[in-house]
Structure 1
Amino acid sequence: MDKDKIKNNFSKSAPTYDQYADIQKEMIAALLSNLSFAFQNILDVGCGTGFSTIEASKKFPEAKVTGIDIAPGMIKQASLGKRGNNNIDFMLGDGEEIPLEDSQFDLVISNASMQWMNCEKFFLEIARVLQPKGTFCFSTYGPATFCELKQAGFSVNNFLPKEKLYGLLSSCFDEISINKMIVKKKYQSIFDLFAYLKGIGARYSFGAKNKGLFTKSKIASLFPDFGRNICVTYEIYFGNCHGIKKQLYPLIGN
């Protein structure tokens, strides 16, 4: 993945992100609702504008919560929304190379951000910064996301299937569960969907198979059904992982 492009896209969208991120807000609410243990030290990877970090702090008011994101603009926006909460810190950081010491956190969360990372590297980093009996919870998108666009001939970014995620996670964690939720979202037209994705910085590579470069009029002529109200699918996975594999201990100093 082109990390410079990811940084730039999300930094540009930082001022508008919360205005558009309704799906992501639903995802973090569902993710946190499944947690009840009194966690004390929490890391939020891919924190964006800090909405998920602040929600985690509300859920666990006694905890220290650290949010990291690869996009400088997102961290700047997150810091503006901190509102004097001394239990929250934000810092620039890549989920594949987390700039924090080993075994610090009893909970790591990641909301709607894993698709921008190399998951194999990311999971190893999570295992490194988690305490041996710590918990990793995440939400991400499944391959049925935007299936309507794929069926219409658009070339859409591929998301990892559940089986692939489970295989990667099983190399790092003792206990793994992955649950699925399907959300249907309506947009006035495909152009409103593209505007939404641009607003949250998610510049997915929507092209067309063997159609050449698209203009607005060309999209409208090739896919007339997408010129009016459309409904698209979001397939969402929620993962809960507990305990670091013992064979990783020598690598992370445990």
Structure 2
Amino acid sequence: MTTLPIDKARVRRSFERAAGGYDAVAVLQREIADRLLERLDYVRLEPQRVLDLGTGTGHAIGGLQRRYRKAQVIAVDFAHGMLRQARRRGGWWRRPQCVCADAEALPLVDDSVDLIVSNATLQWCDLPLALAECRRVLRPGGLLMFTTFGRDTLIELRQAWSAVDDDAHVSPFLDLHDIGDALVRTRFADPVIDVERLTLTYATVRELMVDLKTLGAHNATLARPRGLTGRARLLALEQAYEIHRGAGRLPASYEVVYGHAWAAEISASGRSVTIPISAIGGREHSVKPAP
């Protein structure tokens, strides 16, 4: 598993600044959160405690509370600004419990959570560390369900920048096979990974870059260029991106990775056992990209 190291302090600052305007542009993030929650319809689980890991502004909180009315929903994010937005979710009588913490170091005791839902968060983490923390806090028989972005995300932007210079302008994303391997190495049982590709379109490259900035999705690699991007380089980027234009619009592709895995049950002998397939509803569920 090889990615460029992420500057976590920059990621946190970016999301702090983005909190106020995030919902205005987070169309894709809301869509994949809704699709992730739909997958819970096919899981037989009655959790007492649910963790919304990387809650952002808390879009998933209402859906989790409606599904699991008796469960405690805990919203975790490492940006205070995002949590202030998330705190407003749910009815006044049932505000979520909000915890400001890094997914790589959760302030929760072992075996304390029944379900972890994480939408579009793991790409900002050291994946093995974050998964190890998820595995630690999940009770035996607990479930992790997540989305993240695969390596072909923003491939057009990456290709256009590569025609301009050799610097790393786009944050790296993991291959789905690396994600599956990381789940196995952290002792999750029966991991399942699948992918769909969604595309947003823009009139100009500048519109795309404004959206990414508003989302807080800056290039966060430690190897990123530190100087300002001059007008000439931006013009070169725009020209390089034009080869992707179709039907008058520029595409921005996202490889959305969906995954789930179980915390193994512990038998009377102390050996772990995997969750039977009967724990998942029998109906097939296909997710199709939006038209």
TM-score (norm 1): 0.88
Question: Are residue 25 (structure 1) and residue 30 (structure 2) matched?
Answer: yes
Q: Distance in 2 between matches of 1:223 and 1:87?
A: 45
How far does residue 213 in structure 1 lie from its aligned partner after superposition?
A: 5.5
Question: Are residue 149 (structure 1) and residue 169 (structure 2) matched?
Answer: no
Q: Is the CA contact (8 Å cut-off) linking 1:176 and 1:241 kept in structure 2?
A: yes
Aligned residue number for residue 55 of structure 2: 47
Aligned residue number for residue 191 of structure 2: 176
Question: Are residue 129 (structure 1) and residue 137 (structure 2) matched?
Answer: yes
How far does residue 96 in structure 1 lie from its aligned partner after superposition?
A: 0.5
How far does residue 87 in structure 1 lie from its aligned partner after superposition?
A: 6.0
Q: Is the CA contact (8 Å cut-off) linking 1:40 and 1:62 kept in structure 2?
A: yes
1:106-158 Cα offsets, whole Å, 9 max, x none, are: 11011001011111111110011101110000000001111112222344222
Indicate the structure (1 or 2) with the bigger Cα radius of gyration.
2
- Structure 2's unaligned 5+ residue stretches are 1-5, 163-167, 243-247, 272-291
How many corresponding residue pairs? 245
Aligned residue number for residue 165 of structure 1: 179
Choose which of 215, 229, 237 in structure 1 pairs with 2:249: 229
How far does residue 245 in structure 1 lie from its aligned partner after superposition?
A: 7.9
* Change in CA separation of 1:214 and 1:87 when aligned onto 2, cut-off 3 Å: closer
Q: Is the CA contact (8 Å cut-off) linking 1:189 and 1:226 kept in structure 2?
A: no
- Structure 1's unaligned 5+ residue stretches are none
Secondary structure in 2 aligned to 1:101? coil
1:37-88 Cα offsets, whole Å, 9 max, x none, are: 3333100111111112233223323321101101111112211334414262
Q: Distance in 2 between matches of 1:92 and 1:222?
A: 37
How far does residue 188 in structure 1 lie from its aligned partner after superposition?
A: 1.6
Secondary structure in 2 aligned to 1:175? strand
Letter in 2 for 1:176: P
Secondary structure in 2 aligned to 1:153? helix
Question: Are residue 34 (structure 1) and residue 70 (structure 2) matched?
Answer: no
How far does residue 205 in structure 1 lie from its aligned partner after superposition?
A: 5.4
- More divergent stretch after superposition (65-74 vs 47-56): 47-56
* Change in CA separation of 1:222 and 1:185 when aligned onto 2, cut-off 3 Å: closer
Q: Distance in 2 between matches of 1:244 and 1:87?
A: 31
Letter in 2 for 1:47: T
Aligned residue number for residue 11 of structure 2: 6
TM-score (norm 2): 0.77
Q: Is the CA contact (8 Å cut-off) linking 1:220 and 1:226 kept in structure 2?
A: no
Aligned residue number for residue 204 of structure 1: 219
Letter in 1 for 2:65: S
Letter in 2 for 1:194: M
Q: Which has the higher strand share?
A: 1
How far does residue 160 in structure 1 lie from its aligned partner after superposition?
A: 0.7
Q: Distance in 1 between matches of 2:98 and 2:135?
A: 20
